[in-house]
Amino acid sequence: MLKKSPSKDLIKRFIGNIKENGYIKNGDKILVACSGGIDSTVMFDLMHRIKDKYALELKIVHFNHCLRGKESDRDEEFVKLLAEKHNLDVIMERGNVKEFAKGERYSIQEKARILRYDFFERTLKKQNFDKIVLGHIADDQAETIIMNFIKGYGFDSLKGIPEVRNNYIRPLIIFTREEIRDYADLWNINYVEDSSNVEYKYLRNKIRHKLIPLIKKDYNSNINETMMHWGMLFKYVVDLVENIGENAFNQIVKNKDKNKFILDINKFKDYFILVKRYILIRTFKELKIYKKGANQRLIEKIIRLTDSNKIGKVFSLSSNYKALIDRKELVIYREFVNNFQFKIKPEEKYNLLNDGIVFESIISDNIDSQFSVKDGYWDELIDYDEVDENSLILRCWKKGDKFIPLGMNQRKKLSDFFIDEKVPNYLKKQIPILVSRDEIVWVCGYRISNKVKITEKTRKILCLKCNYN
């Protein structure tokens, strides 16, 4: 529960909270994030008061989002003067959030946060500092938990704002807005007001100025304390799920790269639903397709279909990612352009489909051990004179494709070849096929044509390499 105490006691409680959690130590080098508003300015005042006690090295950091014109510039100037008054260094940066947010799915607030935290991370590294303190308070915590619930961001979001995460610490998270204002009044602390904090176009402001006052008046006068309590309980549960989930993730993921994840579907089924959600969210994040709130229904759909054994089911996760439920595997993969075709010339390297395919080749008349496929750089070696270098095409599989696989003397449908090689359905359209004179030369990563194999009559070889995801 949050304790109510006179403003003079806030410093003692602040120090007590630091000692209890141990997140500030003697000699720490700490960046204090200051917007100029009441919370971060009080945060700075408290950090400056304990500076000598803990032998801290402090610097102020301020990010100007350039969203409020002259008012944003006023905030920047206020923080600059605050640093000068206390003889401290201040590190500032400006970012054009509106320009950065153009064409993106994220809101202005989300983009502002991305730019701000990117600045914090870079500054921590450049200054070689240990930590950064942020001025979030108990009211922010209550608003965040309610907002995450309203937006349907998922179970793990209900833990709210962490008091400590990596290098970020929030020592004011246990104090209410009323306590912060009382402290500022008591010690005559100047600060600036952000006019956007009262604009109802933002959901957080509606929650702050409309919903929470209504809840306090008619339902629960201690809603902040209640939300803090539930946030703490959810944190314990989320931490437990993440611990179990990380171990499960490492056991369940059979194969992965930047464009796909293959999960053992039978092991996946064995875990309870919160761990399944963690595994899928973790997968989505690594593939960079996770968007908080937007993936919840897809995650639930995947879990439901895996539990009901919907074998062979394929469905879209985003514009270019799909999920496939197979007998033994759950495959989440990036689908490249279904119909691709590129003209290829020897002695050149190609990066195709946003590096989804990397192809290169060289011509050589030196047929000795340095061109060993097994131990060397190249994937395949073929007889250069058996292909027409002016008609080389790299394309996807087409219906009716046939070729004579190495070691055979009869044509075989490529579809049958894929079945024999146990190529998953989702991969068939993504495997590059090298063609010359409309004849398949190489099914990349699998087999060359018997027609282009190296023989005693070979005078030149074409060395081939193809990486694709």
Average pLDDT over residues 42-52: 96
What are the tens digits of pLDDT across the range 70-83?
999 999 999 999 99
Nearest to 433, CA basis, from 423, 441, 425: 441
What are the tens digits of pLDDT across the range 396-440?
898 899 999 999 989 999 999 999 998 887 788 888 999 999 999
What are the tens digits of pLDDT across the range 374-395?
445 678 999 999 999 899 999 9
Q: How many CB atoms lie within 10 A of CB 402?
A: 14
Of 337 and 25, the one with more pLDDT: 25
Look at 128-142, 231-245, 267-281, 287-301 and tell me which has the smallest mean pLDDT. 287-301
Dist CA 225 CA 309 (whole Å): 44
First to last CA, the chain: 52
Residue 316's Cβ-count burial label (10 Å; 0-12, 13-18, 19+) is exposed
Paired tokens of 329: 């595997």
When the pLDDT of each residue in the chain is averaged and rounded to a whole number, the result is 88
The dihedral of CA 400, 348, 377, 254: what is its sign?
A: negative
Calculate helix-pair angle for 10-21, 177-186, nearest 10 degrees. Answer: 120
Res 356: pLDDT:
76
Of 431 and 336, the one with more pLDDT: 431
Task: Give 369's pLDDT tier (boundaries 50, 70, 90).
Answer: very low
Res 8: pLDDT:
67
CB 238 within 8 A of CB 10: no
Residue with tokens 């402090």: 58
Average pLDDT over residues 282-305: 84
Dist CA 122 CA 116 (whole Å): 10
What are the tens digits of pLDDT across the range 258-283?
788 899 999 999 999 999 999 999 99
Instruction: Write the DSSP assignment of 177-225 as a string of letters.
Output: HHHHHHHHHHTT------GGGG-TTSHHHHIIIIIHHHHHHHT-TTHHH
Res 371: pLDDT:
46
Res 355: pLDDT:
67
Average pLDDT over residues 195-199: 84
Res 370: pLDDT:
46
Task: Give 7's pLDDT tier (boundaries 50, 70, 90).
Answer: low
Res 111: pLDDT:
87
Res 180: pLDDT:
95
Res 374: pLDDT:
47
pLDDT at residue 136 greater than cutoff 60: yes
* 71 three-class SS: helix
Between CA 86 and CA 96, with CA 90 as vertex, the angle to 5 degrees is 140
Region of 421 please: left (phi>0), alpha (psi -120 to 50) or beta: alpha
Of 273 and 307, the one with more pLDDT: 273
Dist CA 277 CA 439 (whole Å): 47
Of 328 and 117, the one with more pLDDT: 117
Res 105: pLDDT:
65
Calculate helix-pair angle for 273-286, 223-252, nearest 10 degrees. Answer: 70
What are the tens digits of pLDDT across the range 199-232?
888 899 999 999 999 999 999 999 988 998 999 9
